[in-house]
Amino acid sequence: MFKDGDFVFIDYTLRLKDTGKVVETTNEEEAKKNDIYETDRKYRPQLVILGEHRVVKGLEEGLYNLNVGDEVELEVPPEKGFGERDPGKVRIVPLSELRKQKIDPYPNMLLRLSDGGYATVRSVSGGRVVLDMNHPYAGKVLVYKVKVLRSAEDKQEKVKALLSRWFGSEGSEKFTFELTDNSLRVNVPQEYVLVEDLGLMMRMFARDTLTFLGQELTVEFVEKFDKSILAQ
C-alpha cells in the first residue's frame, strides 16, 4: 500500500453514478468511445502525489489502499468529491451583459469566468440568463474506474515525473539533468527558451522538487545557446 509523498501513476475513467455518463478519462480510446474526445488534449497516465490533494479527496483516499497493478472502482460521495450544490451560487444576469462579452449563451453551456472559475448556463429567457456557479459535478456521486500503473521509486524517476508535469511529456524527454545529494542541475533545451511562461513553469517545478525530494536541494536551470539561434 502507498503512503504520503508516494508518486503514483494511474489511468482512470470517471462516470456519474446517477446517469452512468462518462465525463472524464485519461484513456484516448475511452474518450472516443464516449464522445468526449478532445483533439488538443494529451491522453496519458495521471501523476498523483499522495498527500498533495490535487485530486478529489475520495479518489486520493482510495489510492492509499492500493498497490501497483490493482484495478478497482471507487465510489466517491459529494462531500469527498466536488461538494454539495449550493443554491446561493445560482444568480441571474442580463443577457446583454454576456452579449457585450461576445457570448451567445444557451442551456447547459459551460462558461469560463474572469476569476478563473466556471458557470453553467441553466436557462435563457426574457433577456435574462440563469448561471449556476457550482461545479458541474457538485452534488453528484462519482465513480472512478482506476488502474494503478506504476510508482516512481527513486529520486531520478521523481525528477522525470515532475519534468513531465510542468514541461509536458515531450519536454521531459528533452530536458536533461544532473542530480546529487544536495543539488539538481536542469539543462533547458534551446527550443524551450522562448516558451511563454517558462519562468513560471521553472518556479513551479522547483517548488515541487523542494517539497517532495527535500528542501536541502538547490535547483539550478542552465540555458545554453549555439549558432542555431541565429536562424530563429
Q: What is the pLDDT of residues 215-224, one digit of tens each?
A: 999 999 998 7
pTM: 0.85
**Cα–Cα separations (whole angstroms), residue 145 to 74, 83, 111, 209:** 6, 20, 28, 29
User: What's the pLDDT at 140?
Assistant: 96
CB 74 within 8 A of CB 146: yes
124, 151, 178 - which closes a domain: 151
The residues, any chain, with a CB within 8 Å of residue 108's CB and separated by 6 or more, are 120, 121, 122
Enclosing H/E stretch for 173? helix 155-174
Residue 175 sits in the same domain as residue 124: no
Q: What is the CATH number of the domain that holds 224?
A: 3.30.70.2210
CA distance linking residue 96 with residue 100, whole number of Å? 6
pLDDT in tens, 61-97: 999 999 999 999 999 999 999 999 999 999 999 999 9
Task: Kindly tell me if the per-residue pLDDT of 117 is higher than 80.
Answer: no
Separation between Cα atoms, residue 68 and residue 10, nearest integer Å: 9
Work out how many domains the chain is built from and give that number: 3
C-alpha angle 60/66/70, rounded to 5°?
Answer: 120
- 118 is written with which cell numbers? 466556471
| Nearest to 54, CA basis, from 223, 221, 208 | 208
Q: What is the mean pLDDT of residues 2-9?
A: 97
Q: What is the CATH number of the domain that holds 108?
A: 2.40.10.330
Q: Which residues, at least 6 apart from 137, have a Cβ–Cβ distance to it below 8 Å?
A: 16, 23, 81, 82
Question: What pairs with residue 177 in β-bridges?
Answer: 186
Joined grid coordinates for residue 88: 446561493
Question: How distant is the alpha carbon of residue 28 from its chain centre?
Answer: 16
- The reply to whether 112 and 79 lie within a common domain is no
Residues 99, 8 within the same domain: no
Q: What range does the domain containing 117 cover? A: 87-132
Q: How distant is the alpha carbon of residue 120 from its chain centre? A: 20
Taken as a whole, the chain contains a residue count of 232
Task: Render pLDDT for 179-230 as a digit per residue (tens, 0 to 9).
Answer: 999 999 999 988 888 888 999 999 999 999 999 999 999 999 998 776 666 5
